[in-house]
Amino acid sequence: MTTPDPIGGQPRRHSAGVDPLGTLRTPTDPECDVFLTGTVFLDIIFTGLDSAPVRGTETWARGMGSSPGGVANMAIALARLGLRTSLAAAFGDDHYGEYCWDALEQGEGIDLSRSRTVPGWHSPVTVSMAYDNERAMVSHGHEAPPPEGSLPACPPRTRAAVASLVPGRTEDWVAEAARQSTRIFADVGWDETGRWDLGALADLEHCEAFLPNAEEAMRYTRTSCPRAAARALADRVPLAVVTLGADGAYAVDGATGETAEVPAIAVAALDPTGAGDVFVAGFLTGTLAGWPLADRLAFAGLTAALSVQEFGGSLSAPGWVEVAAWWQYVQSCSDQDPAALRRYGFLDALLPAPTRPWPLRRAVPTIGFRRSA
């Protein structure tokens, strides 16, 4: 999978030829590894803000970029980890829509055969402002008209799918995918109703894994501890994973009773946009590859940590090249905790030989520069 150099050079390779499912593939495999559907936004990200904008004043940001956002964050994160990814989404027929389509299909190798361009419909836009390791967002958009805006009635045959659960809403494609033995991974957003009723997440019954953050998990389970929340969720879904922010992540396998907890990697965060999507992509990759639970948590946390050191929710997602460069770098640092290094020793059998030193300069997330004459 590649991302075009915005200055017009050769594409940069992220997967480095690594196929995490290579030993598992057979001639009867599904046509894709992961299926997603949702809304693609054009994200405009401002970074380097000292504080939130103040009413009545003009605030200058030290950094700015644009990239595909929304469900594109997850799609790109999965594709850069070597998974064959299919996305069904509506795209506007404006320049924003054209840019997002090209970045996903040509730049990242994502299958858009189930996506559609909607004439006369403008692309949804989100402006994200990052400061103090947090972010504030302003979005605008309208639902795409049917049939282009409708979710697919018959999802493709695939190993896994990612569903974003919404209270009170049922998506027919989720149940159909589960009937086809697709493994469903689910995340959830903030409950705007304020009810935080697990029973309102009807599609949860079809899911293999549920990955809320700590605040969401505690509110849904009426608990005061994220670990207790994970244990309560494991009664409702085979695998519950609760992200703990700077404290890492905790998981409970409801079938076996196994638990795992992995601390977060301390990084200087530039922009947290999309970090949750990258975490899900990393965890899903390890799950499909059959890794131990703790290794999956560690890998998911690592990919999320690498992503927040760049701005842009989708183009900051790391591939195997970035992971390999990071792993080589941390092993060369004399001040590293040997026990912490051992936690990531499983990477040795997965990673390609590093081709460039850490840190890497990634593609600048922007709509593009013209080639010089």
Task: Tell me the average pLDDT across 230-235.
Answer: 98
Whole-angstrom distance, CA of residue 110 vs CA of residue 86: 6
Using pLDDT thresholds of 50, 70 and 90, give the confidence band for residue 83. very high
25-60 b/e with 16+ CB inside 10 Å = b?
eeeeebebbbbbbbbbbbbbbbbebeeeeeeeeeee
pLDDT, position 190: 92
28 has pLDDT over 50: yes
Is 159:34 a contact under the CB 8 Å cutoff? yes
369 has pLDDT over 80: no
Least confident of 61-75, 83-97, 159-173, 176-190: 61-75
pLDDT, position 308: 86
Whole-angstrom distance, CA of residue 122 vs CA of residue 45: 19
pLDDT, position 188: 96
Higher confidence at residue 152 or residue 319?
319
Q: What is the residue type of 146?
A: P
- DSSP string over 219-278: HHHT-SSHHHHHHHHTTTSSEEEEE-GGG-EEEEETTT--EEEEPPPP---S--TTHHHH
Q: Which residues are registered as beta bridge partners of 243?
A: 213, 249
Helix (H) or strand (E) run with residue 2 in it: strand 2-3
> Of 136, 140, 112, whose CA–CA distance to 126 is shortest?
140
Per-residue tokens: 275: 């970090």
Q: Which residues are registered as beta bridge partners of 68?
A: 42
Of 57-66, 288-297, 300-309, 342-351, highest mean pLDDT: 288-297
253 has pLDDT over 90: yes
pLDDT, position 151: 56
Whole-angstrom distance, CA of residue 9 vs CA of residue 202: 47
363 has pLDDT over 80: no
> 3-state DSSP call for residue 37?
strand
CB atoms within 10 A of CB 122: 16
Is 193:168 a contact under the CB 8 Å cutoff? yes
pLDDT, position 336: 86
Of 53-62, 67-76, 153-162, highest mean pLDDT: 67-76
pLDDT single digits (tens) 255-314: 999 999 999 998 877 677 789 999 999 999 999 999 999 999 999 999 999 998 877 778
